[in-house]
Amino acid sequence: MLFYVTLAVLLASVQAKFYTDCGSKLSTLQKVEVSGCSDNAKECILKRNTNVSINLEFTPSKDIKNLETEVHGVIMNLPVPFPLPQPDACKDTGLSCPLKAGEVAKYKSTLPVLKSYPKVKVDVKWELKFDEEDVVCILIPAKIN
C-alpha cells in the first residue's frame, strides 16, 4: 500500500506545473518557460529591477491574423495591468503573423520588473489575444522581491 501512495505522489509531482491554463480557447499550449520559475515551484520569484523572460509554444486551432499581449498582476482578485514595451505579439517575439491553424508557434518576450513595484505576492495573468478572445491565457503565481 505504501508503494502505491509513494508512486501516486511521485507521479503527481512530475506532472506539477508552476502555471495554470486560464482559458486558452484558440490554441493548445505545449510549453511554458519563465525565468525565475521551475516546474515544481509553488510560485515564481520575480526580482525587482530585472527583466523576466517568457517562452511559450502553442498550436492555434484556427488561423490567427494578429495577436495582442496583455499582462496583469492579479492581487486580491483585482487585475492591475503591467505596462508592456511592445503589446503587439507579432513584433519582436519570434512570431510571424498570420499564424496558421495546426502549426506550432513559438513566442518569446521580456517583461521588466520595475524597482518601483511593491514586494508582494501576485498572480501574473499573461494573455495573447485575437479579436478579444484568448489564444493563450496562463496564470502564474509569483512573488515580487
Tell me, what's the pLDDT at 16? 54
pLDDT above 50 for 8? no
Question: Quick check: is 39 in a domain?
Answer: yes
The answer to the question of residue 34 being in a domain is yes
Top pLDDT among 12 and 60 is at 60
Say which amino acid occupies 107: Y
The total domain count for the chain is: 1
Q: What's 116's domain CATH number?
A: 2.60.40.770
The verdict on residue 93 lying in a domain is yes
30, part of any domain: yes
Residue 1 lies in a domain: no
Q: What is the pTM of this model?
A: 0.83
- Region 90-116: mean pLDDT is 93
In 4-132, beta strands by DSSP E? 20-21, 27-34, 44-46, 50-60, 68-75, 78-81, 105-113, 121-130
**CA distance linking residue 93 with residue 47, whole number of Å:** 22
Percent above pLDDT 90 for the chain: 67
Domain of residue 37 covers: 18-144
Give a yes or no: residue 62 inside a domain: yes
